[in-house]
Structure 1
Amino acid sequence: MINGPPALVEMLDRNKKHVETYKAPPHLMDVAPKIRDSGNGVMILTCSDPRVNVFEIFGLDSVLRAAVIRNAGGRAADALRSVAILQHIARPGAIVVMHHTDCGGTHIEPGDVKKDLVELSPSDKTTIENTQFGKKMNSIKESVREDIALLKTSPLVDHSTQLDEFKQGEGSNFTFPLDAFWLWRFHVRSELFSYSEHSALNLSRQLVSFLLYSTLTIKPKLPYFANFGAIHINELKAVFYSIAMFDDIVAEGYSLAQHDWRLTALVASVVPFALTYIITSLLAFLAANNKSHSRSPPIAPYAVPFFGNLFAFLFDNERFVRNALGRYARDIPVQFRLANRKLTLISGTSNVLAMFRSSRYLDANEIIIIAVDNAFGGASVGRECYALDNTGSRKEPLPGSRPLKMSDRIWYLQHKTTHANLVGPPLVEIAERFVKCLGEELDHAIPPSQTDWVDVPDFYGLIQSTMFAASTNAIYGPHLIRLNPDLNKDFWEYDHHIPSLFKLVPRLFAPKAYAVRDRLVASVKKWHAHAAEHVDVKDPALEGVAWEEYYGSKMMRDRVVDYIGVANMTDDLRACLDVGLIWAANANIVPTVGWCLIDILTRPALAATARAEISTLSPGEINMQALLASPILQSIYAEELRLRNAIFIQRTPIIDTFKMGPWKFPKGDLIIVSSWQEARNRETWNQRGRDGEEHDVEEFWAERFLVYKDDPLSGPRLVDAAKVKKGGEEVEKVADGEASPPKFAPEKVAGQFIPYGGSENICPGRFYAKQEAMAGMALFLAKFEIELQLEPGRVLEPNKAQFGFGVMGPKGAIKARMRRRKVE
């Protein structure tokens, strides 16, 4: 009699009974060739846990058979020898990897196993410690993916193994464990209805399932979908869950509709939306996993036929873009359908830089035409004027473009004039006038004689009014505001409504937006007429004059000269274009300066540092060149552009098939980049300070753009610490006691830090804007003591109603008190 556990004794007793009726199966070498030829063999790799009854789970019996490989955890690494032998014998067509919840592998640390073995046999410690026991399974999903990846890459596994349902392509195919939730849904539903009702419901289910099945198995049209059963388990499950959800809707609706015609109508109205979402989700999944070298980007799934993603994009484009990018890897573009238009959002450093490098095949004209048409009030006249010119903004016309006279090439004329007047001596003239004008505006707001504290109901409102007046007087001369006393107030009301105008909201639904826009156009026309009465822009005596009081800067006179010969140019359109220039000159830099001051003043240590830097570099009069060279002031300015700026940089292909990597973009379709999302890419941006403190990408960090030569981990770009330790990053030596001066280094994050756009369409006013920012910070902090009076618990946030249109100012009024500083 055999001694042992009772279970073993029971098993041997049962074996005796089994032997009495045992009939030998066919010989292995007879069966193996048939399995090899049929390709119908299946291997199941699973855990040795006795609770996992493979035969019960899959209904295996004497007819439906599979080779079962079992080990602790069901891990592929331990099963490779068995897999190789079984493949040699029978060439099974599929491998099923099945792990399970509450597996011992999720509870036990390999180190504990080694420890127990060493205690049992201390003399074998070296052998035990050198033995590999795998690693703890923290996630069943991840462990299945790891094993699938190992099987796919192992030289011991036949790489022709595949599932017929997912055919066509090279590489192994592996299925995923059956989902109990999926099975349960259909099991329960079968008990809810009669046979005839259930048959009717099955029709809808089978139609959707057939769509999925046939899409995956059509060989000629989809030759590249060979492997995603194993690689994309979660995505496939999401598709199946969507089908199950749709099936739920049909099932419940069918049941209810038998009793009420109104519910029948409701079900009929819901089904198209559900089906649209399922189909677009499936198409998106297929496109994202297409491995072709010339493929279209996946779409963002939508439920509303024809309109697509339009409503989600219009009403909360920040959330919509964030969710769209979250569906795929960073380097996969995402296509939106906005009614009859298609937009493709690209992301990631390589894609953004590739777009900028391809400027000769792209233009930014479409968004400018929309702005001129609606946002600036040019209507159809502006479109006709700009649409006539397809020669591009370079001096040499684009190949195949219309043979226009130079005087009709409005894109080139605007590009040339703006760039020529915002660099070199003309820039110095405008910047110096801005400093002078802002000083005067601040002295007027709070006179030098005012030594007591002054309550300011809206600190940011003060920044808006003084900065706008200073910049307008510097660029356009004093008469524009003198002739239109409400211009300052009208402009900021106009800026508040700018999203409605860019989004083409009809006048009926946004009357205030159109009214204030029209007032601005009328104000500029009045100024144009007044300036023309006093100055002849073609007067030779004005050649080389950088500024005069009626037109202001030379740039404004040059624009008048440029527009004289342009076909279809009218006085109304010229006024609209200058409204656009006024908006571009103020809408971004003013809120940027506002945030610079707010973030400095809410951090006492930073305020002390900034004031010390300003007083050292620019004592008395503003020394612009010294301020522009300040690493900390530049870093503050850049950080606000990173953190508060939300623009969609837009380009349109002007060739038939434009490609970036494997992705193709049709001629005329918009390509967009979100500066907001690129500035929050945690895979790119550094979040570690020199003191080891973390600075999240969603937070302001004054030193984010500073590189210290003795700290290779500093700077805006995330650096792999492991590479630094291995010598992958150079470290400059600094003598003992010597300070490590920082360097302002925005170039480290090229392609991610894109507040001005890029390539030949980069913002021409960026140099002037930076000088405005330096002057704004310097004058406010040098002239005043400022105490912000925030309500307890208030967190200052950007006004996301402006999202997508540049730098967003703070939301809500900010109370403060100010007084003149005593300068000794």
Structure 2
Amino acid sequence: MGFQVLLAVPLGLAAICLFTFLKTNLLYQIAIRDKSLEKEPPALPHSIPWLGHVFGFLTPVPGLFFSKILLWYSRAHGGASMKLAGRNIRLIFSTTAVQALLKVKPDVANSETMIRDMMCKGLGTSDVDYAKYVGHGRHLEHEVSSKYLLRPTGADVLLRQFARVMKKGLMEESLRLSGPADKRGEAVHLYGWLRSFMFKASATSFFGERIFTEYPEIVREFWDFEPRFLDLLFGVPKFVNCEPHSAQQRVVKGMTRWVKANDRDMAGKTPNPDIPDQDWEPRWGSRLVRAREALFQDLELSAQGRASMELGLLFALNANAVPATGWMLMHILDPRKPDILPRIMKEIQEAVDAADPNGDLDFDLPTLINQPLLQSLFQEVLRLYVDVLVTRAVYQDMKLPTEDSQTTLLIKKGTIAMAPSYVNHYDPTGYAGAPVEEFDAERFLVRAGQETADPSGNDGVIYDEKSSNKVSKKPYAFSPGATGAKMIPFGGGRTMCPGRVFAKREVFSSLALVLLNFDITTLAGPRSYKVPGVVASYSGSGIIGHGEMLSKAKKQELV
């Protein structure tokens, strides 16, 4: 009798799963045959009640879930529906619908739920501090970011301090590697080597030098926390994996020590971001962080709440820009494409030649960030290695247009609209050049005079920054809109990443400083060289991290 009971349990569960699959598959077949011009995205079949597609979605292989869907599900439907742990998700594939989604009013659909999860679950902000921040505080923080970070002038001030610290670190490394000519150089894991310099430079330029004395474990503990952030965001419970929660507690505790130490020194005074001739100071660092701290104190956030907010900024600075620079460097050094490195070096040298001899940068920044091959290579990194989920909770029924002008997607209130970047970044019909699964550094180059506008509506901000003092005479030009495909590497709408202007400057400057100061020789030849694969990560991880590559960094005299 007992054996029969034990056998009945799995058989009953199997029957429930089979029934669920047959039912959802039947509804799916009916939905895809519906010729209505206005309809909800077809619901994808699933087998497990309530959980739905959660196990497939949480597979830690970037893009695998969506690539499997698209093997049998047509993009022409414009979208699809799925269930994730009781949540009704509406996937938006149509680029026209995605653009419309980014423009809807906040009372129709917004990202507040995702922002709360990021702050409270991911960064450790308490419910009390979030309640103080969410109203007027969030709007004021956006104004602070616009003034001190989003505008090119503010980003350039931060970039100069970043470049000074980065250059100093590289010069010290150059001296360390100096030695007899026949023994000069050292084999290193390139990404880990690069990461240490970029993290130190970005943290110092934004947060000051004191953060490293009050929190000396910051480098190690931050990089322990960073790959576990999505476990926290997706609500992986402690009994399943306690390490993400422990990593979060360690890094928030360390950041809180820094905040409290500065508060003691300030003796009740509020940081002042607008002191003349003080773009940077060692305690709080940049004007941006001083302005943020003044705001957070005015909102009466706790020291831990302020620390978690600054952890969010530190995360934004390093979790994406550092791997993006690593991907660019690894593809530039690829011996299978021997013409890329000399062409990149030529573009960097042109920026060096245009530099102000009395300035504090080794290169002219407008010239550097407008070089066509560098921009194309950066854009290709964003296309190939960015995995973001633009997410909106829907509070009113909305109709999204598609490429077919007669067809609209109906997204009902109470659902969650989600636009995965992978679907359109890997659309084989959207890009010229090599197959979309391959890296093509020249994918976004066209003949000079044939450039098209940035289809994301960010001309002059992210990609196509026009230099006022330099006119390119190259036969080719960078054109982000050459394919007509839509890319959303920084998200979109009101929640578009506020650090995108600085991020591009940080990536290009880091790349230039490394290539100007070091000869880097790959230990693998053209036949055995392989760009590292992506690390295991969940959907929505931003710029995906990568494995290590063994290289040899050698000292090179400064240009």
1:429 to 157, 166, 170: 157
Relative distance call for 1:456 and 1:498 in structure 2 (3 A) is farther
Query: How far apart are 1:283 and its partner, in Å?
Result: 1.2
State the Cα deviation string for residues 743-768 of structure 1 (Å, max 9, x = none).
21113456622111122221111110
Q: Decide which of 67, 78, 81 is 1:335's aligned counterpart.
A: 81
Give the letter aligned to residue 816 of structure 1: S
Instruction: Tell me if the contact between 1:707 and 1:715 (Cα under 8 Å) persists in the aligned partners.
Output: no
Deviation at 1:539, TM superposition (A): 5.3
User: What secondary structure is seen at the aligned counterpart in 2 of 1:562?
Assistant: helix
How far is the alpha carbon of 1:278 from its aligned partner?
Answer: 1.1
Distance of 1:433 and 1:330 partners within structure 2? 48
Q: Secondary structure at the match of 1:787?
A: strand
Q: Is 1:376 aligned with 2:123?
A: yes
Q: 1:331 to 1:415 in 2, by over 3 A?
A: farther
Of 52, 59, 69, the match for 1:308: 52
Whether 2:486 is the aligned partner of 1:755: answer no
Q: How far did 1:476 drift?
A: 0.8
Question: TM-score, structure 1 length as denominator?
Answer: 0.59
Query: Counterparts of 2:282 and 2:10 in 1: how far apart (Å)?
Result: 68
Q: Could you tell me how far apart the structure 1 residues matched to 2:329 and 2:344 are?
A: 10
Matched to 1:651, the amino acid is: R
1:800 maps to 2:541: no
Q: How big is each residue's C-alpha offset from its partner over 1:255-313, in whole Å with a ceiling of 9 and x where there is no partner?
A: xxxxx887666544322211111110111222233333442221121001121111111
* 8 Å contact from structure 2 (residues 519, 555) kept in 1: yes
SS in 2 for 1:335: strand
Match of 2:462 in 1: none
Q: Equivalents in 2 of 1:489, 1:613: separation in Å?
A: 35
Residue of structure 2 in register with 1:722 after alignment: none
Label 1:739 to 1:793 Cα distance change in 2 as closer, same or farther (>3 A).
Answer: closer
Contact 2:58 2:539 in 1 (8 A): no
CA deviations over 1:317-356 (Å, ceiling 9, x no partner): 7322223344133442111111221111111321111112
- Report if aligned partners of 1:802, 1:808 keep a CA contact under 8 Å in 2: no
Residue number in structure 2 paired with 1:778: 512
* Pairing 1:818–2:553 present: yes
Q: CA deviation at 1:462?
A: 0.8
Letter aligned with residue 389 of structure 2? F
d(CA) in 1 for partners of 2:13, 2:288: 58
Aligned CA distance change for structure 1 residues 379 and 343 (closer, same or farther; 3 Å): farther
Structure 1 stretch 776-785 or stretch 418-427: which is displaced more?
A: 418-427
Task: Report the secondary structure of 2:537's partner residue.
Answer: helix
- 1:588 paired with 2:320, answer yes
Distance 1:501 1:414 in 2: 24
Aligned partner of 1:789 among 523, 538, 543 = 523
Deviations 1:230-254 (A, max 9, x none): xxxxxxxxxxxxxxxxxxxxxxxxx
Are the counterparts in 1 of residues 59 and 538 from structure 2 also a CA contact under 8 Å? Answer: no
Inter-CA distance 702–359: structure 2 relative to 1 (3 Å threshold):
farther
Letter in 2 for 1:277: F
Rounded Cα–Cα distance in structure 2 between residues aligned with 1:699 and 1:809: 17
- Alignment equivalent of 2:438, drawn from 699, 713, 722: 699
| Partner secondary structure for residue 747 of structure 1 | coil
Deviation per CA, 1:673-727: give whole Å up to 9, x if none: 111221111111112xxxxxxx111111111111214879x9999xxxxxxxxxx
- Give the CA RMSD over aligned residues: 2.8
Match of 1:417 among 138, 141, 144: 144
Aligned partners of 1:457 and 1:709: how far apart in 2?
39
CA 1:371–1:449 in 2, change beyond 3 Å: closer, same or farther?
Answer: closer
- 1:604 equivalent in structure 2: 338
Q: Secondary structure at the match of 1:652?
A: strand
Residues 110, 394 of structure 2: 8 Å contact kept: yes
Q: Deviations over 1:159-206 (max 9, x none)?
A: xxxxxxxxxxxxxxxxxxxxxxxxxxxxxxxxxxxxxxxxxxxxxxxx
Offset, 1:657: 1.2
Say whether 1:363 aligns with 2:99: no
Larger radius of gyration: 1
Question: Aligned residue for 2:216?
Answer: 485
2:399 to 649, 652, 659: 659
Residue 461 of structure 1 and its aligned partner are, at CA, apart by: 0.2
Structure 2 equivalent of residue 447 of structure 1: 175
2:92 counterpart of 1:346: yes
What is the number of equivalent residue pairs in this alignment? 515
Partner SS, residue 686 of structure 1: coil
Query: 1:710–1:751: structure 2 CA closer, same or farther, 3 Å change rule?
Result: closer
Counterpart of 1:143? none
Following the alignment from structure 2 to structure 1, what is the Cα–Cα distance between the partners of residues 198 and 298?
Answer: 34
* Aligned residue in 2 for 1:724: none
Partner of 1:397: none
Which residues in structure 2 correspond to 1:110-125 (within 5 Å)? Answer: none
- Seen in structure 2, the aligned counterparts of structure 1 residues 267 and 538 have a Cα distance that, compared at 3 Å, is closer
5 Å matches for 1:82-121?
A: none
User: Structure 2: which amino acid aligns with 1:814?
Assistant: M
8 Å CA contact retained: 2:388, 2:421? yes
Task: Give 1:419 shift.
Answer: 1.8
Q: Distance in 2 between matches of 1:540 and 1:363?
A: 31
1:559 and 2:298 aligned = no
**Deviations 1:590-643, CA, capped at 9 Å, x for gaps:** 000001100001133211111122122214822211101211111111111111
User: CA separation of 1:293/1:478 partners in 2, compared to 1, >3 Å: closer, same or farther?
Assistant: same
- Of 362, 368, 386, 1:645 maps to 386
- Asked if 1:546 is matched to 2:279, the reply is yes
CA 467–599 in structure 1, closer or farther in 2 if over 3 Å, else same: same
Map 1:63-212 to 2 at 5 A. Answer: none
- Counterpart CA distance in 1 for 2:231 and 2:273 is 44
1:250-261 alignment runs, 5 A limit: none
The answer to whether residue 248 in structure 2 is matched with residue 507 in structure 1 is no
Checking the alignment, whether the CA contact within 8 Å between 2:75 and 2:93 is kept in structure 1 is no
Measured in 1, the distance between the counterparts of 2:413 and 2:294 equals: 34
Confirm or deny: 8 A CA contact 1:356 1:758 kept in the other structure.
Answer: yes
Q: Distance in 2 between matches of 1:750 and 1:582?
A: 34
Letter matched to residue 269 of structure 1: L
Cα deviation per residue 1:422-448 (whole Å; 9 max; x = unaligned)? 114322210111111111121223327
CA distance in 1, matches of 2:273, 2:127: 35
In the alignment, the residues of structure 1 paired with residue 8 and residue 287 of structure 2 have an alpha-carbon distance, to the nearest angstrom, of: 70
Structure 1 letter corresponding to 2:292 = R
Q: Is the 8 A contact 1:296 1:663 kept in 2?
A: yes
Q: Is the 8 A contact 2:517 2:555 kept in 1?
A: yes
Q: Secondary structure at the match of 1:315?
A: coil
Question: CA separation in 1, counterparts of 2:273 and 2:291?
Answer: 13
Mark the runs of 5 or more structure 2 residues left unpaired by the alignment: 356-361, 402-407, 456-471
CA distance in 2, matches of 1:471, 1:525: 19
Distance of aligned partners of 1:519 and 1:266 in 2 relative to their CA distance in 1, 3 Å threshold: closer
What is the deviation of 1:369?
A: 0.7
Answer with 347-356 or 327-336: which moved more: 327-336
- Residue 743 of structure 1 pairs with residue 487 of structure 2: no
Partners of 1:287 and 1:298 within 8 A in 2: yes
Q: Give the Cα separation in 1 of the matches to 2:392 and 2:155.
A: 28
Cα distance 1:764–1:715, how it changes in 2: closer, same or farther (>3 A)? Answer: closer
Aligned to 1:124: none
Q: Give the direction of change, closer, same or farther, for the CA distance of 1:453–1:502 in structure 2 (3 Å limit).
A: farther
Cα distance in 1 for residues equivalent to 2:264 and 2:541: 36
Structure 2 partner of 1:573: 305
Does 2:458 correspond to 1:675?
A: no
Match of 1:627?
A: 368
Q: Which residue of 1 aligns with 2:461?
A: none
